[in-house]
Amino acid sequence: MGHYVLRRVLQMIPVFLGATLLIFLMVYSLPGDPIAAMFGDKAADPATVANLRHQYYLDQPLWKQYLHYMNNIFHLDFGTSFTGRPVSEIMADAFPVTIRLALVAFFFEIVIGLPLGLIAGLKRGSVADTVVLLLTLVVISIPVFVLGYIAQTVFAINLGWVTATVQDSRDISQLILPGLVLASLSLAYVARLTRTSIGENLRADYMRTAVAKGLPRRTVIGRHLLRNSLIPVVTFLGTDLGALMGGAIVTEGIFNIAGVGNVLYKAINQKEGPTVVGIVTVLVLVYLVASLVVDLLYAVLDPRIRYA
Amino acid sequence: MPDRNDAIPDDHDPLRNIQPTDSDHLDYVGQQGMAVEQETLIEPDPVKREQARSLWGDAWRDLRRRPIFLISAVLILLLVLIAIFPGLFTSTDPRAADLTNNYLRRPDWSDFFGAGWFGYDGQGRSIYARVIYGARASITVGICVTLAVTLLGGLAGMTAGYFGGWIDAVISRITDIFFGIPLLLGALVLLNAFATRNVWSVVIALAFLGWTQLARVMRGSVITVKQSDYVVAGRALGAGTGRLMFRHILPNAIAPVIVVATIALGGYITAEATLSFLGIGLQDPTISWGVDISSAQKVIRQAPFALFFPAAALSITVLAFIMLGDAVRDALDPKLR
């Protein structure tokens, strides 16, 4: 177990370095001069420009910039954005908001997606199964930005049940609608994945044994069927938690939530290199850790899996 | 979003994960369950072969009987026709803006296939004509990105799976690196660098970041297939690397790749629309449903139909490709029979 974790963590290092390098190159080697943009239409004083370039290490070759940046990261210094605000401060503001939203969405995925998949999987070919299949197909086909607008128009503007935008993300009731919209796509996947997995495991020998030895239905489904069927679902949910953090650009934009997606979108448009690289670095880390946790969870779900 | 797909795993036997022969397998499980599960979608079925029915012939026989396949195939043919010859479906210029025809004029249902059928948008352009002309961008992006990622990812996965060893390690790590960057995010950053963006810049950005999923599927599939007896026999008879790869392994390993690629196609169309909606994808003069939906936001209260029609066209297109992918997967997966 310890060995396995160690090996995995070691393998994460090159992936982490590579992914940050890739995003660093994409942000800094592409055309567009952020320093010139800081002056807007005004003519820039060459001395000031040179000074600023030096301050942000933009006068160094790209590889030196990257080494400098990575060195700072290991000291937990994410640098300063071009507006002068420390990137760590920007992230400290945005991440709690996004984490709350992601948790609400995650909650809906499990609470709605799993039961739907369970019902459909247990009664294959029934009306309920067909309804779940059709509904999920529709949800998967409608892009999130369309779904978001429809939900906002119907529930906030026409019916007035909720506020159209989120004023205070600490108020969970305001996050319900955006959370549902954000969860919709993954919810559909979770339902379909659970359905298939349940359907396959229903035919397994151990299920026949469990039924034959007279176990109550609850135990058969809960302990035997569900536990065995959950592995692919857990895989999906684990990686999805990472995706929810960074993939909320559209949802956060529609509901005006000041989370990571929103900040990132603005930063990309304003060529705010330090902010973009900083946030993406954290997102890559979250994703790597999430995938490790998922693998370790397998052993909990299925005792046959042992990590030597 | 597009890096997910609707693929339903058919193999989650946990014991696979601890097979010593495939030591790297564990690494992938957590990172994208989907890809792993599809690795062994297809297993050549010796019984079928004896009956002189190939997997493909069998799949085709099966597909023709599925209503879901027929519906999606007809829809896709129609969409492709619209994309190639939009002039056949409308005689209105989609860019002609006449402010006297503003969005306050409701859709005129009696005006079949005419300019006013779906009403007019905020700038007095015919929504019907724009929906028709918008198909080209979506279909082109979807098909081109899918072809590019299948080629790129297929080649990378084939090389990694066939040669194994350090080549596999290097390619797999590179795949991991690209996989760690969310598709939409990376595409936003990349596309920001293009001063003017057209269909091809969007295709390049999405293909550059999107090939990893297919590389993983292909790698897994090739690893399974290359252990087969007929590959060993081919090698024993002196077949070269190229012949083994493309004549023996590829035809037997490609099925799961095709399934994943078909389902992913719908995802790329969504990705393009999302990017255009965010203002970093396609831009004028390209007509795109994403751009139209984005500009319809401004008049959503007065003219909800300006948002509805392009959104419906987009959803139907994505739906058609996802249904096709579903049907192809069911037909190619012998386990579900």
Percent of chain B with pLDDT over 70: 76
Average pLDDT over residues A47-56: 73
Of A160-169, B28-37, B74-83, the range with the lowest mean pLDDT is B28-37
Residue range(s) defining the domain that contains residue B22? 4-37
Confidence class for position B25, pLDDT limits 50, 70, 90: very low
Please check the confidence at residue B83 and state whether its pLDDT lies above 50.
yes
| Yes or no, beta carbons of B4 and A23 under 8 Å apart | no
More confident residue, A95 or B303: A95
B47 assigned to some structural domain: no
Top-ranked range on mean pLDDT: pick from A2-11, A48-57, A169-178, B262-271 = B262-271
Cα A40 from Cα B269, distance rounded (Å)? 36
Query: Are A125 and A174 within 8 A, CB to CB?
Result: no
Cα B273 from Cα B313, distance rounded (Å)? 11
Confidence class for position B2, pLDDT limits 50, 70, 90: very low
Same domain, A123 and A48: no
Please check the confidence at residue B247 and state whether its pLDDT lies above 70.
yes
Same domain, A169 and A107: yes
DSSP 3-state of A142 = coil
Cα B213 from Cα B28, distance rounded (Å)? 11
Same domain, A68 and A133: no
Percent of chain A with pLDDT over 70: 91
Neighbours of B15 (CB within 10 A): 9
Cα A245 from Cα A105, distance rounded (Å)? 10
pLDDT, residue B149, reads 93
CA B206 to chain CA mean position, Å: 11
Over the stretch B187-206, which tens digit does the pLDDT of each residue have? 888 888 777 788 888 899 99
pLDDT, residue B19, reads 38
Same domain, B30 and B124: no
Average pLDDT over residues A13-19: 86
Cα B170 from Cα B167, distance rounded (Å)? 5
A81 assigned to some structural domain: no
Cα B38 from Cα B221, distance rounded (Å)? 8
> Does the beta carbon of B270 lie under 8 angstroms from any beta carbon of chain A?
yes
Please check the confidence at residue A248 and state whether its pLDDT lies above 90.
no
DSSP 3-state of B162 = helix
Query: Are A254 and A145 within 8 A, CB to CB?
Result: yes
A132 assigned to some structural domain: yes
A38 assigned to some structural domain: yes
Task: Tell me if ipTM is over 0.95.
Answer: no
Over the stretch A68-103, which tens digit does the pLDDT of each residue have? 777 777 777 777 777 777 878 888 888 888 888 888
- Please give the DSSP secondary-structure letter assigned to residue A223: I
- Interchain CB contacts (distance < 8 Å): A and B: 174
Question: Between residues 211 and 240 of chain A, which touch chain B (CB distance below 8 Å)?
Answer: 231-232, 235-236, 238-240
Q: How many domains does chain B have?
A: 2
pLDDT, residue B179, reads 84
Average pLDDT over residues B88-96: 74
Same domain, B285 and B259: yes
Look up residue A76 and give its amino acid.
L
Rounded to a whole number of angstroms, the distance from the CA of A103 to the nearest CA of chain B is 18
Average pLDDT over residues A126-141: 88
Question: CATH number of the domain that A269 lies in?
Answer: 1.10.3720.10
Same domain, B201 and B325: yes
Please check the confidence at residue A308 and state whether its pLDDT lies above 60.
no
More confident residue, B66 or B171: B171
Please check the confidence at residue B152 and state whether its pLDDT lies above 90.
yes
Contacts of B240 (CB under 8 A, 6+ apart): none
Confidence class for position A207, pLDDT limits 50, 70, 90: confident
Question: Between residues 61 and 100 of chain A, which touch chain B (CB distance below 8 Å)?
Answer: none
Please check the confidence at residue B144 and state whether its pLDDT lies above 90.
yes
Beta bridge partners of B120: B126
Beta bridge partners of A80: A86
Same domain, B101 and B27: no
Same domain, A132 and A45: no
Contacts of B263 (CB under 8 A, 6+ apart): B5, B6, B7, B321, B322, B325, B326, B329
The pTM of this model reads 0.80
B261 assigned to some structural domain: yes
Question: Between residues 296 and 335 of chain B, which touch chain A (CB distance below 8 Å)?
Answer: 297, 300-301, 304, 307, 311, 314-316, 318-319, 322-323
Q: Is A84 exposed, middle or buried (0-12, 13-18, 19+ CB in 10 A)?
A: exposed
Question: CATH number of the domain that B273 lies in?
Answer: 1.10.3720.10
Cα A292 from Cα A5, distance rounded (Å)? 8
Query: Are A184 and A139 within 8 A, CB to CB?
Result: yes
Residue range(s) defining the domain that contains residue A63? 2-73
pLDDT, residue A112, reads 92
Of A220-229, A256-265, B196-205, B294-303, the range with the lowest mean pLDDT is B294-303
Rounded to a whole number of angstroms, the distance from the CA of B233 to the nearest CA of chain A is 34
Cα B296 from Cα B187, distance rounded (Å)? 24
Same domain, B61 and B123: yes
Of B9, B173, B188, the CB nearest to A14: B173
Of A186, A193, A235, the CB nearest to B30: A235
pLDDT, residue B105, reads 65
Contacts of B10 (CB under 8 A, 6+ apart): A196, A200, B37, B38, B40, B41, B333, B335, B336
Confidence class for position B225, pLDDT limits 50, 70, 90: confident
Same domain, A103 and A33: no
Query: Six-digit token pair at A92?
Result: 């400290």
Over the stretch B252-296, which tens digit does the pLDDT of each residue have? 888 888 888 888 898 899 888 888 888 887 877 788 888 888 888
Same domain, B175 and B301: yes
Cα B225 from Cα B251, distance rounded (Å)? 10
B49 assigned to some structural domain: no
Helix (H) or strand (E) holding B167: helix B165-179
Same domain, B10 and B70: no
What are the angstrom distances between the C-alpha of A87 and each of A179, A281, B129, B180? Answer: 26, 12, 46, 21
More confident residue, B56 or B150: B150
Please check the confidence at residue B333 and state whether its pLDDT lies above 60.
yes
Which region, left, alpha or beta, applies to residue A7 given φ > 0 means left and ψ of -120 to 50 means alpha?
A: alpha
Please check the confidence at residue B30 and state whether its pLDDT lies above 60.
no
pLDDT, residue B156, reads 93
| Yes or no, beta carbons of B293 and A268 under 8 Å apart | no
Confidence class for position B155, pLDDT limits 50, 70, 90: very high
Q: How many domains does chain A have?
A: 2
Domain stop point among A10, A40, A73: A73
Beta strands in A159-274 (DSSP E): none
pLDDT, residue B153, reads 92
A80 assigned to some structural domain: no
A86 assigned to some structural domain: no
Residue with tokens 């995650």: A106
Task: Report the mean per-residue pLDDT for chain B.
Answer: 76
Q: Is B312 exposed, middle or buried (0-12, 13-18, 19+ CB in 10 A)?
A: middle
Cα B154 from Cα B258, distance rounded (Å)? 10
In three-state form (DSSP H/G/I as H, E/B as E, the rest C), the secondary structure along A38-97 is HCCCCCCCHHHHHHHHHHCCCCCCHHHHHHHHHHHHHCCCCCECCCCCEHHHHHHHHHHH
Please check the confidence at residue B5 and state whether its pLDDT lies above 60.
no
Q: In terms of Cα–Cα distance, which of B328, B27, B179, B21 is closest to A9?
A: B27
Please check the confidence at residue B22 and state whether its pLDDT lies above 60.
no
Which of A10, A16, A27, A141 to probe by mutation at the B interface, max B CB count within 10 Å?
Answer: A141
Over the stretch B98-133, which tens digit does the pLDDT of each residue have? 766 666 666 666 666 666 667 777 676 777 888 888
Residue with tokens 């599809």: B38
| Yes or no, beta carbons of B31 and A11 under 8 Å apart | no
pLDDT, residue A39, reads 67
pLDDT, residue B150, reads 93
Residue with tokens 């797999």: B172
pLDDT, residue A36, reads 66
Same domain, A34 and A106: no
What are the angstrom distances between the C-alpha of B200 and each of A30, B245, B286? Answer: 18, 31, 11
Cα B91 from Cα B21, distance rounded (Å)? 62
Query: Six-digit token pair at B298?
Result: 């401004």
Look up residue A218 and give its amino acid.
R
Please check the confidence at residue A259 and state whether its pLDDT lies above 50.
yes
Same domain, A162 and A194: yes
B143 assigned to some structural domain: yes
pLDDT, residue B143, reads 92
Average pLDDT over residues B197-219: 88
On the CB side of B109, CA atoms within 13 Å amount to 1
B280 assigned to some structural domain: yes
Cis upstream peptide for B285 (omega within 30°): yes
Average pLDDT over residues B315-331: 86
More confident residue, B3 or A115: A115
A156 assigned to some structural domain: yes
